[in-house]
Amino acid sequence: MKTGNFPLIEFENIFKLNPQKSSWVCFYEVVVGRNNISKRTLKKYFNKLIDKNDYSQNEKHQLINYLYDLTGKKQDRVCQKHLLATNKISINKPVGERERGELMKSMSLSISGSK
C-alpha cells in the first residue's frame, strides 16, 4: 500500500459487521498502528466517514492529531532523528522495525535506570 492510502474497505467491513460500534471506533480500529496513512489522508477520510455533527472543529483537529500520533509515523520520525544523531543509521536508510524496537528498548532502560 502506498503512503497516504486509507483502508476504506476494512473500515466498511468493520462498520457493517459491528453495528453497535460508532463510526469513530471503526475509524480508530483501522488507523491505529498503520504507518502508511498521512495526516492529510486521515483528515480527508475523517471528514468523509465520521458524522459531521458528532464533533466540533476543535475536537476534530484534536482527534486527527491523536490518530496521527498512533499511526507510527511520528514514532518513526523521532526514532530516525535519534538514530541519525547517534550515527546508528545513515540519512538514506529508513527506520525499520528492528531499529525502532532497539531504540524503544534502550530509551525505556535509560528512563527506568534513572529512577
The mean pLDDT values, 10 residues at a time, for the chain of 115 residues are: 69 92 90 81 92 90 86 58 55 53 56 43
Each residue's pLDDT tens digit, 60-84: 999 998 888 877 655 555 555 555 5
Instruction: Confirm whether pTM is higher than 0.85.
Output: no
Q: What percent of the chain has pLDDT over 90?
A: 23
> How many Cα atoms occupy the beta-carbon half-sphere of 30 within 13 Å?
23
CA 31/CA 42 separation, integer angstroms: 8
